[in-house]
Structure 1
Amino acid sequence: MTEASEPHTIADRKDATAGPTPHPQRWLILSALCLAVLLVLLDNTVLTVAIPSMTESLNASTASIQWVMNGYTLAVGGLLMTTGSLADRIGRRKALLIGVALFTLFSGVASMADSPAQLIAGRIGMGVGAALLMPSTLAVLMQVFPEKERPKAIGVWTAVGAVGVALGPVLGGFMLNHFWWGSVLLINVPVGLAALITMIVLVPESRDPQVRKIDVPGVVLSILMSVGLVYAIISVPEHGWSSVHVVVPFTVGAVSLVSFAYWERRCAEPMLDVSLFRNPAFSGAVSSTALTYVALAGSLFLFTQYLQFVMDYSPLEAGLGVVPMALALMMVTAFGPKLAEKIGTPATMTTGLSLMGAGLLILSMLDRDSGYGLALAGLAVMGAGAGIAMPTASNALVSSIPVERAGVAGGLNSTMQEFGSACGIAVMGSFAAALFASRVPDSIPEDATDSVGEALGVAARGDDPALLIQQVGEAFASGISVSMRIGAALAIAAGVLAWALLRRNSVPPEEAAPQGDEVPAQASAAEAERKDTSGVS
């Protein structure tokens, strides 16, 4: 395909089945999109190191601090599907700019908070902005890049996000060493303004060319479904699986999920065509994306605790300890698209997820006396696998949805990432906590076994502090070890699932369509037929 100077929106093109026109400034646009992604994903982890300072400065209760974190998560997780659909309707550029503006504005509000309530309100506002921003970045990417270049662009997009997650604790530790707690949020303001200005200049507008009615029941049910399930999942570590705080929102979410699927199948213009899940390639991409993030988020959550509570690292040192994983991911993402061209998407996904599983198995060997060398090996292998699997899964997912519904594709991809991450932390964290509680020394009171920090505090005041601290560390390390094996099993299961489902609809690399402007007539006809029969609206 050649770079054209005509308008670069789907709405401006008469032949929508030919796909979006490559934008001449698409790589500059990608840099602006990556800046926005970095802004959001950096913030996901940067605030964790500031919790002690926030608690002290604002005289906040434990419940208030939990809502500082959970309010943001609920806003993002609950709105992603809706905001993705909204972006297709009002324009992806407009949704992106509104999202960046809201995130930047409320970052400033939250950084100046002088009460827990103000901080919680600011964080919820940031979550709404992030929910608009994240699916819109992927939707714009789909519009400005041709299909051939899209896997590489998604690889860059994924790598930048991983770097943001890994660098969050490092940046947070640095800022707290020099400034007050609000600085970790205030740093978003200049970065957000830079991203906003760059996007105003570079990003073209695009939207779904078909004018559709708002699927109001679908919107309401998707929000109830997402908020209910996310709230239940993030409540598990504190309240347990059988608590009313988990059972009630889970029931609301599950009933809303079933109702959403029922309604969308019968709606004339649904927000999401649920019949897409009958497509093995689509189902494989969705499930693989979710399971990948379950394993990745859960393992990183536990590994940073291992570094702090077992290896006695500071929060800043623990953040630096995760950086090798992000570096490995960055270095490998460029090879994913090339590998997919040679061996196909199913084999590439299986390769990446198998490497992730191998890395997690290495991490499962860690104990109190392991040292960082073994951890480094596990992180490098896991990061390499994630660098192959994550962008390949995202590309497979968005490629399964018509390009004019790019916002829905971006929203669904981000939703799977958010749900996967929340489930990984809840499930793997719960297993680790339960095993830890069952293996701590009998001299540690039962009410102190809910937290490794509390158990270590009690051990330090015991009759034989050195021995008790060692035993508590060993108990925690053993719980993490089992959870890492669970993560490895999930990653390998995702690889098997990807191979089984994606290969049904995959085209062998040697049979792929010619590059350039030549598109076989039968391929164009098949694509046109797919557009006509697709129910995504």
Structure 2
Amino acid sequence: MTTSPSPQEQTPDRVADDRVPRTQGHPRRWLILGVICLAQLTVLLDNTVLNVAIPSLTREMDASTADIQWMINAYSLVQSGLLLSAGNAADRYGRKKMLATGLVLFGAGSLVAGLADSSGQLIAARAGMGIGGALLLTTTLAVAMQIFPPEEQTRAIGIWSAVNALGFATGPLLGGFMLNHFWWGAIFLINLPIAALGLVAVVALVPESKNPEGERPDLLGALLSTVGMAALVYAIISGPEHGWTSARVLMTALSAVAVLGVFAYWESRIPYPMLDLNFFGNRRFTGAVAGATLITFGMGGALFLLTQHLQFVLGYGPLEAGLRTAPLALAVVALNFTGLAARATASMGVPVSIALGMTLMSGGLVSIATLTAHGYPGTLLGLVLIGVGTAIANPVMAHAIMSSIPQEKAGVGAGINGTLAEFGNGLGVAVLGAVLGARFAALIPVEAGSLPAALAAADSASERGRVTEAFSSGLETSQLVGASAVLLGGLLAAALLHRAGRADAGAKAGQDPACAGPCGDPDRT
């Protein structure tokens, strides 16, 4: 009588071309990486492209402030809530299938959004795009981990990360260009040819891979994680507007904590959990998770504040401000596409790379906080430092998360990585925005409420100068808090990953069978 293999003995994921050994990677892996990066880019552009269309939507749809908020938040809420479930579905049913499904859903949502003639239709379309976005964000990274051999994975993830930075930088620029030449719906319809091209390429090129054990679906876990994460992100988004102590925010946050607590309990009790809580007992995984959360906290909030500084304090328009933040993305793209960051990481080792990268990023934020008042050169220096640090640290951090869990759970690993990015970004914007607000309110009359309101209430040039100075002071304080979070994240992650690397090396020396699969070769310490 035969028995099923234990979790420790499970074979690697099935790949369509079984003639290619895993150690060599897929023969068309770089072409496939280009395909999945194209799919990734469509999602990332849509995270920021809508922001520049807000005035047009307000005017042409007679949209209220609440409508505008839901047009933006429906996408991010659905996407962040479904990331873990989407990753689990990709592992179970096939990552190629889910990648293709994500492109279809994203394209269909874009079509409905582009042709919408009411706020309700646009909000519903954005929610549908969020479902497709969740599938794309998780499957692209999971597929990259499957088709590349271990020694090339860091460089592949570096290119994947560079596409993230490119999407962040070009979203507002593309949106501004489209609105200058077409009507607002064009910012959604432009997704259609990209999604169609991506779908054809996925079907033709991407190999199928999935969990060979075909675990039973964890439907209750998927529901609990979706509801809990969506509620948590909504509480973070709503905090700055409605007040952190308001009934709406407190009840939503408490509900999120309660639902996520039930989710954790459920996952610890069932034989086939969607999220194996034993992952958190792995010091490599824990270190990468801690660092990723703090890095996105500091970066997301600090860059959000920088755009305000460029527009409100230095007086640049939205397009000009977007162009002046582009050096950050250009530095990331240059270092990751050329492979320079990957080669530097290989020579330094994982812990040192993370510590160095996040120290550079922290230094960049300090430069922006302290030198921006003296003109754009201080901001430029900060952006370049942040870009170089991001190019070094981000791919290593993502690879540390993905390589800390079994290959058959790659989709869930990508879901965890995406969830951390969403959570850290949202929390960073909320917390650093609150620091800015508190500092601003301490320096000017509280009743002024916001910078535009305070400037409108100022009746002299000296009064307007005092208001702008107060806002700049708040920005400086917030940026320094973000810099501290990034530096702390780097040191913490580096220390935990150094200890994990030593433990892995010791386990391999002792021929510990647990390190034969997921652990792989230990990182240099």
- Indicate whether the TM-score tops 0.5: yes
8 A Cα contact 2:16 2:208, kept in partner: no
8 A Cα contact 1:357 1:382, kept in partner: yes
8 A Cα contact 1:296 1:424, kept in partner: yes
Q: Does the C-alpha gap of structure 1 residues 436 and 312 become closer, same or farther in structure 2, counting only changes over 3 Å? A: same
Structure 2 counterparts to residues 396-407 of structure 1, below 5 A: 396-407=400-411
Question: Between Structure 1 and Structure 2, how many residues are aligned?
Answer: 505
Structure 1 residue 530: deviation in Å?
6.0
8 A Cα contact 2:402 2:414, kept in partner: yes
8 A Cα contact 2:144 2:156, kept in partner: yes
CA-to-partner distance for each residue in 1:381-408, whole Å, 9 max, x for gaps? 1111111111110000000011111111
| Alignment partner, residue 489 of structure 1 | 484
Structure 1 residue 14: deviation in Å?
13
| Alignment partner, residue 113 of structure 2 | 110
2:360 to 355, 363, 366: 355
| Alignment partner, residue 423 of structure 1 | 427
Q: TM-score, normalised by structure 1?
A: 0.90
8 A Cα contact 1:299 1:487, kept in partner: yes
Q: Is 1:376 matched up with 2:371? A: no
Match of 1:506, SS? helix
Q: Is 1:217 matched up with 2:220? A: yes
Q: Does the C-alpha gap of structure 1 residues 447 and 260 become closer, same or farther in structure 2, counting only changes over 3 Å? A: same
8 A Cα contact 1:20 1:143, kept in partner: no
| Alignment partner, residue 158 of structure 1 | 161
| Alignment partner, residue 440 of structure 2 | 436
| Alignment partner, residue 120 of structure 1 | 123
Q: Is 1:527 matched up with 2:515? A: yes
Structure 1 residue 306: deviation in Å?
0.7
The 2-side partners of 1:55 and 1:489 are apart by 38
The 2-side partners of 1:458 and 1:204 are apart by 61
CA-to-partner distance for each residue in 1:109-141, whole Å, 9 max, x for gaps? 112221111110111111111011100001111
The 2-side partners of 1:434 and 1:467 are apart by 22
Q: Does the C-alpha gap of structure 1 residues 523 and 406 become closer, same or farther in structure 2, counting only changes over 3 Å? A: farther
8 A Cα contact 1:20 1:144, kept in partner: no
Q: Is 1:265 matched up with 2:268? A: yes
Structure 1 residue 468: deviation in Å?
2.8
Q: Is 1:473 matched up with 2:473? A: no
Q: Does the C-alpha gap of structure 1 residues 530 and 36 become closer, same or farther in structure 2, counting only changes over 3 Å? A: closer
Structure 1 residue 339: deviation in Å?
2.7
The 2-side partners of 1:453 and 1:204 are apart by 53
Q: Does the C-alpha gap of structure 1 residues 522 and 145 become closer, same or farther in structure 2, counting only changes over 3 Å? A: farther
Q: Does the C-alpha gap of structure 1 residues 61 and 300 become closer, same or farther in structure 2, counting only changes over 3 Å? A: same
Match of 2:85, SS? helix
1:305 to 303, 308, 321: 308
| Alignment partner, residue 324 of structure 2 | 321
Match of 1:22, SS? coil
| Alignment partner, residue 6 of structure 1 | none
Q: Is 1:144 matched up with 2:139? A: no
| Alignment partner, residue 349 of structure 2 | 344
The 2-side partners of 1:38 and 1:84 are apart by 18
8 A Cα contact 2:90 2:97, kept in partner: yes
8 A Cα contact 1:21 1:143, kept in partner: no
1:236 to 233, 236, 239: 239
The 2-side partners of 1:12 and 1:190 are apart by 28
Gaps of at least 5 residues in structure 1 are 1-8, 514-519, 532-537
The 1-side partners of 2:256 and 2:219 are apart by 17
Structure 1 residue 66: deviation in Å?
0.5
Structure 2 counterparts to residues 13-412 of structure 1, below 5 A: 19=22, 22-333=25-336, 334-366=339-371, 369-412=373-416
State the one-letter code of the partner of 1:92.
R
| Alignment partner, residue 522 of structure 2 | none
The 2-side partners of 1:103 and 1:502 are apart by 37
Q: Does the C-alpha gap of structure 1 residues 311 and 402 become closer, same or farther in structure 2, counting only changes over 3 Å? A: same
CA-to-partner distance for each residue in 1:138-176, whole Å, 9 max, x for gaps? 111111111110000000000011111011111111111
Structure 1 residue 455: deviation in Å?
2.6
Identity of aligned residues (%): 46
Match of 1:24, SS? coil
Structure 1 residue 178: deviation in Å?
1.5
Q: Is 1:455 matched up with 2:454? A: yes
The 1-side partners of 2:23 and 2:234 are apart by 38
Structure 1 residue 320: deviation in Å?
0.6
Structure 1 residue 508: deviation in Å?
10
Structure 1 residue 343: deviation in Å?
2.4
State the one-letter code of the partner of 1:402.
P
Q: Provide the aligned C-alpha RMSD in A.
A: 2.4
Match of 1:148, SS? helix
Structure 1 residue 108: deviation in Å?
1.7
The 2-side partners of 1:403 and 1:58 are apart by 47
Q: Does the C-alpha gap of structure 1 residues 508 and 338 become closer, same or farther in structure 2, counting only changes over 3 Å? A: farther
Q: Does the C-alpha gap of structure 1 residues 136 and 484 become closer, same or farther in structure 2, counting only changes over 3 Å? A: same
The 1-side partners of 2:216 and 2:66 are apart by 41
Q: TM-score, normalised by structure 2?
A: 0.92
Structure 1 residue 512: deviation in Å?
12
